[in-house]
Amino acid sequence: MNLKPLHANVIVKPLSKETVTKSGIVIPETVSQEKPEQGEVVAVGAGRVLDNGQIAPMSVKVGDKVMFRKYSPDEIKVGEEEYLVIKEQDIMLIIE
C-alpha cells in the first residue's frame, strides 16, 4: 500500500529506542511506553497552501531523520507496520 499525505502532513516511521544496559541486556521501547520523538520520513504532502493560493514547499524530504513534538503525531497502522502522521509545523529539526 502506498501512503500519500495531503497538504503539509508528513508520514514518519518511528525510530526504535531500544536501550542496551552495561551488562548487555536489551530493554525494548515498549517497557517504558513512552511515545517516540524521532523517526524517518517516508512520505510528504505537497505543502501548505498560502493565502495567495500558492503552495509553500515542504522543508523535509523522504529519508530525512527528524525530531518532533512528543504528543503531536497521530498513529496509524498499515498491515504490520506502524507509522505516524505529523503536521510539518510540529517537526522541530532534521537530524544530520
- Domain residue ranges of the chain, discontinuous segments joined by +: 9-95
pLDDT tens-digit readout, 6-58: 999 999 999 875 555 566 665 555 545 556 689 999 999 999 999 999 999 99
Residue type present at position 6: L
DSSP classification of residue 51: T
For 90, list phi and psi in degrees, rounded to 5. -90, -5
Is 89 or 15 the better-scoring residue by pLDDT?
89
pLDDT at 42: 95
**CATH hierarchy code of domain 9-95:** 2.30.33.40
pLDDT at 26: 58
Rounded to whole angstroms, how far apart are CA atoms 4 and 42?
9
Read off the pTM: 0.76
Rounded to whole angstroms, how far apart are CA atoms 12 and 21?
27
Report which of 80, 4, 6, 72 is spatially closest to residue 39, judged by C-alpha positions: 72
